[in-house]
Chains A and B, each alone.
Chain A
Amino acid sequence: MLLNEARGKRLLAAAGIAVPVGIEITTPAAVAGARFAFPVAVKAQVASGGRGLAGGVRRCNSEAEVSEAAAAILSTRFSGLLPSTVLVEPWLAIARELYLSVVIDGRAGGFVVLYAPKGGVDIETGPKPLAYPVGLARNFRAHVFRALLESVEHDRKLLEQIVALARRLLRLAEAADCTTIEINPLAVLADGSLTAADAKIVRDDAAAWRHADIATALEQARAAETEDVRRCLDANLMLVWLEGEVGLLSGGAGMTMAAMDAIEAAGGHAACFLDCSGNPTPAGFGLALELLDSNPTVRSILVSMFGGGLQMDRVARTLIELLRNRSSTKPLVLRLDGTRGDVATTLLADAGFANHRALGPAVSEAVRLAQETTP
Chain B
Amino acid sequence: MSILLDAASRVVVLGITGRIGTFSARDMLAYGTQVVAGVSPGRGGSNVEGIPVFGSVAAAVAATGADTAIVYVPAPLALDGVLEAVESGCRLVAYPGDGLPVREAMEMRAAARAQGGWMVGPNSPGLISPGRAKLGFMPSFCYQPGPIGVISRSGSLSYEASLRLTQAGLGQSSVIGIGGDPVKGVNAAEAIALFHDDPATEAIVYLGEIGGSDEYAVADYAQRADAKPVATLLVGRTAPPGRKMGHAAALIGSYADTWESKVVALEAAGAVVARSLDALVDAAREALRRSAR
Beyond A110-B109, A258-B277, 4 additional contacts (C-beta under 8 Å) are: A107-B213, A204-B103, A256-B156, A257-B239
For chain A, give the interface size range.
35 or more
Q: How far is the CB of B146 from chain A (nearest CB, A)?
A: 20
Q: Is the CB of A252 within 8 A of B154?
A: yes
In the bound complex, how far is the Cα of B269 from the Cα of A88, in angstroms? 50
In Å, the complex CA distance between A306 and B155 comes to 11
* B154 CB contact (under 8 Å) in A109, A240, A242, A255: A255
- Find the residue from B180, B236, B243 having the highest chain A CB count within 10 A: B236
**Which of B3-11, B29-37, B53-61, B182-190 has 4 or more CB atoms under 8 Å from chain A?**
B182-190
B248: chain A residues at CB < 8 Å are 206
27 contacts between A and B (CB under 8 A): A110-B106, A111-B106, A206-B75, A206-B101, A210-B76, A252-B157, A253-B209, A253-B247, A254-B153, A254-B155, A254-B158, A254-B209, A256-B246, A257-B238, A257-B245, A260-B239, A261-B237, A262-B277, A264-B238, A273-B239, A273-B243, A275-B246, A306-B159, A308-B138, A337-B160, A338-B142, A359-B160
**Which A residues from 237 to 262 make CB contacts under 8 A with B?**
238, 240, 242-243, 251-258, 260-262
Q: Which residues of B contact A (CB under 8 A)?
A: 75-76, 99-103, 106-107, 109-110, 113, 125, 137-139, 141-142, 152-160, 163, 180, 182-184, 187, 189, 207, 209-210, 212-214, 217, 235-240, 243-250, 254, 276-278
Q: Is the CB of A107 within 8 A of B103?
A: no
Chain A, residues 163-176, CB within 8 Å of chain B (1/0): the string is 00000000000100
Say whether A309 faces chain B, with CB atoms less than 8 Å apart.
yes
Q: Which residues of chain A in 101-124 are interfacial with respect to chain B, using CB atoms and an 8 Å cutoff?
A: 104-107, 109-111, 124
Query: In the complex, A243 Cα to B239 Cα: how many Å?
Result: 11
CA distance A179 to B212 in the complex (A): 13
Q: Complex Cα distance A108/B160, Å?
A: 30
Q: How far is the CA of A261 from the CA of B156 in the complex (A)?
A: 15
A261/B238 contact (C-beta < 8 A), A106-B187, A177-B103, A277-B156 known: yes
Distance between B155 CB and nearest chain A CB, rounded to angstroms: 6
Q: Which of B210, B212, B254, B277 has the most CB of A within 10 A?
A: B277
Q: Does A135 contact B (CB under 8 A)?
A: yes
The reply to whether A104 and B243 form a contact with Cβ atoms under 8 Å apart is: no
Neighbouring B residues of A273 by C-beta, 8 Å: 239, 243, 245-246
- A307 interface residue, CB < 8 Å from B? yes
User: Distance in Å from the Cβ of B257 to the closest Cβ of chain A?
Assistant: 12
CB of A254 within 8 A of CB of B207, answer yes
- From residue B162, how far is it (CB to closest CB) to chain A in Å? 10
B159 near A338 with CB under 8 A, answer yes
Interface residues of chain A: helix, strand, loop or mixed (majority): mixed
* A261:B157 contact, CB within 8 angstroms: no
| A339 CB within 8 Å of chain B | yes
| In the complex, chain A residues whose CB is within 8 Å of the CB of B137 | 308-309
Query: Which residue, A106, A252, A260, has most C-beta atoms of chain B within 10 A?
Result: A106
Which 6 residue pairs across A and B have the least CB separation, nearest first? A254-B154, A252-B156, A253-B246, A254-B157, A255-B156, A257-B235
Q: Which residue of A lies closest to B177 (CB)?
A: A254
- Asked whether, in the complex, the Cβ of B154 is within 8 Å of the Cβ of A261, the reply is no
Task: Give Cα distance in the complex from A368 to B243, angstroms.
Answer: 27
* Proximity bits, A345-375, B CB within 8 Å = 1, else 0: 0000000000000011000000000000000
Q: Provided the pairs A254-B155, A254-B207, A308-B125 are in contact, do residues A242 and B240 lie with their beta carbons within 8 angstroms?
A: yes
B249 touches A260 (CB 8 A): no
Alpha-carbon distance between A206 and B97 when the two chains are bound, in angstroms:
12
A265 at interface (Cβ–Cβ under 8 A)?
Answer: yes
CB of A109 within 8 A of CB of B187, answer yes
In the assembled complex, A136 has its CB within 8 A of some CB on chain B: yes
Neighbouring B residues of A359 by C-beta, 8 Å: 160, 277-278
Q: How far is the CA of A265 from the CA of B189 in the complex (A)?
A: 30
A207 touches B (CB below 8 Å): yes
Determine if A302 is an interface residue (Cβ-Cβ < 8 Å): no
- For B100, what are the chain A residues with a Cβ–Cβ distance below 8 Å? 206
A251 touching B156 in the complex, CB below 8 Å, given contacts A136-B110, A261-B237, A339-B141: yes
Query: Are A258 and B240 touching (Cβ within 8 A)?
Result: no
Contact A135 B245 (CB under 8 A): no
Residues of chain A within 8 A of B187, CB atoms compared? 106-107, 109
A261-B245 CB under 8 A given contacts A106-B213, A209-B76, A306-B156: no
Contact between A252 and B103 (Cβ–Cβ < 8 Å)? Answer: no
* Minimum Cβ distance to chain A for residue B136 (Å): 10
Q: Which residues of A contact B157 (CB under 8 A)?
A: 252, 254-255, 257-258
| Residues on A with beta carbons closer than 8 Å to the beta carbon of B182 | 104-106, 179
A70 located at the interface, meaning its Cβ lies under 8 Å from any Cβ of chain B in the complex: no
**A240 CA / B153 CA spacing, docked (Å):** 20
Residues of B within 8 A of A207 (CB): 101, 103
- Which residues of B are found within 8 Å of A308, using beta-carbon distances? 125, 137-139, 142, 155-156, 159
Q: Does A270 contact B (CB under 8 A)?
A: yes
**Residues of chain B lying within 8 A (CB to CB) of residue A206:** 75, 99-102, 248
Asked if residues A135 and B154 are in contact (CB atoms below 8 Å), the reply is: no
The CA of A174 and the CA of B244, in the complex, are separated in Å by: 23
